[in-house]
Chains A and B, each alone.
Chain A
Amino acid sequence: MTDTLVVARKELLDLRRDRFMALLLGFILVATTLSVIVGAAQFRIKLDEYDQYVAALKASGSAVSAAAPQLFPLQLLRGSIEYIELIGGLFAIVVGYGMVAKEKQRATIELLFSRPVRRYSVAGGKVLALAITWLVAVAVVFTVITGVLLIVGRAPLQPVDIGRLLIAAAVAWAYLLLWSSLAMALASSTKHLSTGLIAVLVLWLVVVLIIPQIGDTMDPDNQVPGGLFKSLQVAKPDEHAVLAHFAGYDTVRNGLEVSSVTKHFERLSFAFLGIKDVFNQLPIAAVARQTLAYSLSLVLASAAAVGLALLTTTRKTLLRRNS
């Protein structure tokens, strides 16, 4: 067994037995599952309202027919994706930070590097363990929420939906690995552990919460409950025509949003799952074509974070003395 595998195996064993880790993953699982249940309950209310409406029409002898609300089951996953985006990112930071912090705090880092391990074995083993951990976690979360969709949402899933779910899971995996690797890199490269933690938490706050929130706030349509254009009773084509006058403003707003990798994750997931209406029921290949830039940026960002973790988690940085 190579050193990398030895380190990865030990990390996985350590994480598997960590109760705090179990608590974090349990929380994500509960939050994402509850979100699907809430979405399903909300849809059922819509269905009931429709049934009552149809019954009232029938009772009044009207021949008018109304379109039934259509359930696109994967759209019920919107809240779950948002939990992975917000809380998942934070938990990924905790796990990535812990990979380095526990070694520094327990002085085992000195033991590790007093062994004849190769330059990138320790970092490689840790990143591999993170990749496997998130693969398992994402697999569990997506399996459970798919099960909930089938049982609670009573939603029939087509093979293509499974494909969409698998892609969304892969996107979530890349996103979580990105945050974990970044946290690992910052914990390794800063002299004091606390500095690394501060840096990565502030980064999370800014990238995950603040930038998307500013982008949302600056969207004129979000300024009025129910939407600005709805309140002005403006139809969709006219809305686009009006907004064309504000292209400069929207470019700045959109530019701000896309400066956050979290938005790339969100837009990709929403596109493949059909949560965003313009992508709903579009073939996977068409969605992939239209979102290629986001796929590339997320993959590149994750690869860069992994690379940074590998380059910074070395004997030189970890054994650096403060004085």
Chain B
Amino acid sequence: MSGFRATLQQEVLSARRERMPQVLLIVFLGMVSVSSLIGWLTHRTVTSVWETTRAAGLTTAPNPFAHAASLSYVKNVVIYVVLIGALLAIVLGVSSTLRSRKSRTTDLVLSRPVDVAVHLGAKLTGMAIWLGAILAVAGALTWVSIALIMRGALSAGDTIRLAAFFGVAWVFLLVFVVVGMLSGIHSRRETSALLLPIVAWSVIVFVLPQLGTAALPVSLLNPVAAVPVEGGAFAGVQQIVGPFALGEQFKTLSGAALGTGSPGSLGLAAFAIVTALAAGLLVLLGTRRDHLRRDLRD
């Protein structure tokens, strides 16, 4: 397995040194860091609005945030995973396979006694480790920011919930790493290698959910999964396209993990994401040797 280990180490080293993922990583971690602050500020404002409304005798309804989960401050992180995290994962995946095509080192690698599936598996493992490290840092930042806001350490239960959320995020983002890697292998140009998975991402995050739920694209930037419209053909369409709307399925799982509530079926959500990853892996590991050797135009 020395080939596997060598490729894995090479991947982590290269990923760490590439500028594009680095910049996205800074944006991602930056947004994760301020997410709790934004969440806290909004919570405080909503509570003040409710207090003002009640003091003016305009409402008798209870504070909508009275029973909010302690992790609800960080629910925006969910959307940052779907937006910035997914783009980062795509860039990582594309760079991973495109790198050897650009530097024309594929033939050097393939002239060694290396099995293609093992080689690609090692690349993916390297990416997965790197992504895991990024999410661990994001998790730690989130934990610290909530602790600072709440002026006290998170309970063991909340810590486990947070860890579970970042675990789900890891699996979700791996799907995009795999999509990126496949695009890096099969695209004829560098630009299309990067853009095609971004187009696929926009279909998954915006178009498919809209078809099944009639939710507008911008409203899909909400961390809570969209609820299907009742009536018409929407329910039927949602049954078909819903499982492919991975962004919404991730929001469902995240809501459950963070305890902030989720409208969808957890089983379906988990099944959809795991199946997507498994299918991607199957295609990736089944890549033929000659596909890896394709010339890159431009």
Contact = CB atoms under 8 A, between A and B. Distances in A.
Instruction: Determine direct contact between A and B, CB below 8 Å.
Output: yes
Interface of A: 20, 23-24, 27, 31, 34-35, 38-39, 41-42, 44-45, 48-49, 78-79, 82-83, 85-87, 90, 94, 97-98, 101-102, 105-106, 194-195, 197-198, 201-202, 205-206, 209-210, 212-214, 216-218, 220, 222-225, 228, 231-234, 238, 241-243, 245-246, 249, 266
B49 A31 contact: no
Contacts of B140: none
Given A31-B207, A101-B191, A242-B49, A234 B58 contact: yes
Given A205-B83, A232-B58, A27 B199 contact: yes
A223 B39 CA distance: 10
Nearest to B87: A205
Contact of A232 (B23, B53, B221): B53
The 10 nearest A-B residue pairs measured at CB: A82-B217, A232-B59, A45-B231, A45-B232, A42-B214, A105-B298, A213-B221, A82-B218, A198-B20, A224-B64
A288 B298 CA distance: 46
Contact of B49 (A34, A98, A202, A246): A246
Nearest to A232: B59
Contacts of B64: 223-224, 228, 231-232
Contacts of A82: 216-218
Most chain A beta carbons < 10 A, residue from B48, B61, B230, B231:
B231
Contacts of B79: 213
A106 B221 contact: no
B298 A209 contact: no
B45 interface: yes
A198 B19 contact: yes
Contacts of A234: 53, 58-59
Interface string B47-91: 011101100101101001100000000001001000110010000
Contact of B214 (A39, A101, A243): A39
A232 B19 contact: no
A34 B207 contact: yes
B182 to A, nearest CB: 17
B83 A209 contact: yes
Contacts, number: 155
Contacts of A228: 46, 49, 64
B83 A213 contact: yes
Interface string B134-152: 0000000000000000000
Given A27-B199, A86-B217, A106 B38 contact: no
Contact of A242 (B20, B52, B191, B218): B52
A195 B224 contact: no
20 contacts: A23-B199, A31-B206, A42-B229, A48-B232, A82-B216, A85-B218, A94-B195, A194-B19, A197-B20, A198-B20, A201-B87, A209-B221, A220-B42, A223-B43, A223-B64, A228-B46, A232-B50, A234-B58, A246-B45, A249-B45
Given A20-B195, A242-B49, 11 more contacts: A31-B207, A79-B216, A205-B83, A213-B221, A216-B221, A217-B39, A224-B46, A232-B61, A233-B59, A238-B58, A242-B52
Interface residues of B, number: 54
Given A49-B231, A232-B58, A79 B217 contact: yes
B24 interface: yes
Contact of B198 (A39, A90, A194, A213): A90
A98 B194 CA distance: 13
A218 B39 CA distance: 8
B42 A86 contact: no
Contacts of A102: 298
Nearest to B213: A38
A202 B21 CA distance: 11
Contacts of B31: 210
A139 B83 CA distance: 30
Given A220-B45, A231-B61, A20 B189 contact: yes
Nearest to A243: B49
Contacts of B42: 217-218, 220, 223
A209 to B, nearest CB: 5
